Structure 1
Amino acid sequence: MIEVLTAPDGSETQLRLRPPRALDARQFVLLFAVLSGVMWLVAALGWFTGNAFAPLFALLYSLLLAAALRVLWRSGERQEEIRVVPACVEVIPAPGQSPVFSAHPHWVRLIADEQRVRLASSGRQVEVGSFLAPAERQALAETLEGLLAASDGCNRRR
């Protein structure tokens, strides 16, 4: 997902990139409850038919499922920020961190192909939006191209 945030005076534009999520937090909890509930139902039926280890396997399954869904949820919290101001282009990999790329817009080149979108300046390159879908990466490249052209007056896409 690409969010475009513009300062009220139009001097700064910030792109906030996040991976798309199919489920919200409530739906993740509901998914866990349904999958675990079905497993516990099957384990209870197994226990009644003589499988003494079925509840143990259901407990292990529930713990493994909870851990997997937590890892999946945390991976959806990734975020990148790209700030374009008249004096600087910055790429910040996560909120609160220092920029991994910073350069004057006049010297920044946009390098985009089907797989990657990169910003380059003075021999340094940084890939942006690696977690986005191909169509979103194309939209990101077009948006960055417009922002860089507007901040510098020329278009440097290659």
Structure 2
Amino acid sequence: MIDIGKNVWGETIQRIYPDLFIFDDQATWNSGQFVRPSVFVETDLVSEKTHTPQSIRIIEDVGLVFHYDFERISQEDKGEPIPFDLYPFFLYLRQNRYCIASQRFKTMLVVEPPRTREKSDQMEITFRYSYLLHVPKRTVTDDGKEIMKINDFYVEANGQEVKA
């Protein structure tokens, strides 16, 4: 199964910060071998519950780690971190009332208010979100027979059977 939540967050961040490098590889993040400024996206499934017969409600946690760039006086020198402006990201969430719609994946995420944790060279933002995932209705039984759909409905009106 593709990770819809992670892809929607990538699309959203790309919409807000078009020049920012986005990655989700845990090994790259742990090794520290990535371009700065960048954002690391990690999602974690909390639960999935049946919402209707044709949909499942997925609840996930996401962690967005925005890594700051460093001041460079010379090529070998790594100076002070340059704080990244996260105001556009929080403004985007507020303007959309914490509902993020993806045009590419046709999914809407309902987001809870974020929690932030600032470190010297990065800002970590975590929050929980949910979305509905469509489950296609089965059209074939286990033994291979096609399930017949009812397309015509009849009601009784004034003592006569009428197509509804």
> What TM-score do you get using the length of structure 2 for normalisation?
0.19
Identify the structure with the greater strand proportion.
Answer: 2
Identify the structure with the greater helix proportion.
Answer: 1
